[in-house]
Amino acid sequence: MKSLRARLALALFLLLTAVGIAAVGAAFLVVESEPDELLDDQLRQIAMNVGDVARPLPPPDPPIEADDAILIVIRDATGRIIRRSDDSVDLPATQKTGFSDEVVKGEGWRSYAIVTDDRVIQAAQREQTRDELANEAAIQAVAPIAILIPLSWLVLGVLVTRLFRPLERLTDELREAQAEHDSPLSTEGLPSEIVPLVEQVNGLLARQNELLELRKRFVSDASHQLRTPLAALQLQVGNLARAPGAQAVSGEIAEIRQGILRMSRLTSQLLDLARAEAPHDPSVSPSTDLSAALRQVIETALPLADERGVDLGVVSEIDATVGCREQDLTAALMNVVDNAVRYTPSGGSVDVSSALAGDRVEIAVRDTGPGVAEDELERVFERFVRAGRATSGGAGLGLAIVKAAAARSGMEVRLENAAEPRGLRVTISLPLPAPAA
């Protein structure tokens, strides 16, 4: 995935670097040529000043080093040297006023001469010295620009980060938004180019909310409307079982009763699934007493376990508070335990335990049923999927409810087959409560 921020930063980085390098190069060339003019003016001024002095030139005090010296030579009209500042340099004589370039002992010299009626004054300087001075001046001129280039990279990074801050806020808002997002995304502070996109997203969220609300209402209404006739059917079947001659059709009555019970359970599970999939307020930090939730689930499931001849109990338990909603934890545990009891044959057992595992709490529900085929361990979380454990007459919604409740409250659910004794182990990992602000 290509990052717009990275691409923009890279483009601006390359552009800024190219402009900076071009500016450094241009400044170096311009500044490097300016000292030549200044040094030429200096030579001219020195020659003119020396020409106004009638007396011999005094030796320099303090002595000037040869590399930095400006050589001064004064000759008479015949070309005889009257005075020179450095006897080691034999500057060629000239009879023409102006600048000239000379080579003395393999070194280049820049010279300016003034020719009068009775004398010739020459002021000269090594080309190497002039080049060094020019380069030094150029470096001093471009150094601030060169230093500003990496500093501008830092400024560029800060500016790009600030530019994308509204988009990051929008991303965070979308990430934290639940399936049902009541309030539209804010367009405050967003670039005008992004506002139409956000408005379209708000429209999609609004339409999604409508569809979710319609689905919830349908499931809720259908489940509630089914409960009344189902209760009436149960009553009528009970009356039918007590009617004269009912013994002759007792098998059929039992089948009808079981069908009504399955329908009632399916209705309850549909309601549980609708509740588990309902959005919640992410700003609320929930906490639930684990022991109380376990007791409630065990007490609710005990009648079914006794009816089926299954030994249900808690083998180990810790006293802890977990960071999930009581409704979600109870729904997840109830469906896991209910499934375990229903799929465990008579004489088997379902053991529930809880333990601390790092920064989370783990609840394990271990049954001695037939287990689940390895290739179906993930599929059983889908709706209406009963895989190979289809002997209980369930609708295949139990683990779908567990998955939805876990997703709402930050729980993690794992299924694995156990070898000895054979059965299924369901582990629910629960977060600890968030620390108080």
First to last CA, the chain: 36
pLDDT of residue 67: 40
Residue 316, judged by CB atoms within 10 A of its CB (0-12, 13-18, 19+), counts as exposed
pLDDT, one tens digit per residue, over 126-147 is 888 887 887 787 777 778 878 8
Taking the CB of residue 338, how many other CB atoms lie within 10 A of it?
Answer: 22
Q: Of 84, 65, 57, whose CA–CA distance to 73 is shortest?
A: 84
Residue 303 has pLDDT above 90, yes or no: yes
pLDDT, one tens digit per residue, over 63-118 is 334 345 688 888 888 888 888 888 778 888 888 889 988 888 888 888 899 988 88
pLDDT of residue 353: 95
Q: Cβ(111)–Cβ(91) under 8 Å?
A: yes
Which residue in this structure is represented by tokens 């001075």?
A: 133
pLDDT, one tens digit per residue, over 263-279 is 777 777 777 777 666 66
Q: What gap in Å lies between CA 96 and CA 93, rounded to an integer?
A: 9
Name the percent of the chain lying above pLDDT 70. 86
Q: Cβ(23)–Cβ(152) under 8 Å?
A: no
More confident residue, 367 or 215: 367
> pTM here?
0.53
113 pairs with which residues across the strands?
98, 122
Q: Which residues contact 187 (CB under 8 A, 6 or more apart)?
A: 194, 195, 198, 199
Which residue in this structure is represented by tokens 């979308």?
A: 174
pLDDT of residue 64: 34
Helix (H, G, I), strand (E, B) or coil at 2: coil
- Please, what are the domains in the chain? 1-176 (no CATH), 177-279 (1.10.287), 288-431 (3.30.565.10)
Cα–chain-centroid distance for residue 193? Answer: 23
Q: What gap in Å lies between CA 319 and CA 316, rounded to an integer?
A: 10
Mean of per-residue pLDDT scores for the chain:
81
pLDDT of residue 52: 65
More confident residue, 364 or 203: 364
pLDDT of residue 62: 42
Q: Of 382, 391, 385, 297, whose CA–CA distance to 338 is shortest?
A: 297
Residue 355 has pLDDT above 80, yes or no: yes
The token pair at 105 is 């002992």
pLDDT of residue 226: 74
Residue 185 has pLDDT above 60, yes or no: yes
Mean pLDDT across the stretch 48-62?
56
More confident residue, 226 or 314: 314
pLDDT, one tens digit per residue, over 368-427 is 999 888 888 888 888 777 765 555 556 678 888 888 888 888 899 999 998 778 899 999
pLDDT of residue 282: 56
Residue 437 has pLDDT above 60, yes or no: no
pLDDT of residue 264: 77
The most confident of 176-180, 317-321, 407-411, by mean pLDDT: 317-321
pLDDT of residue 280: 60
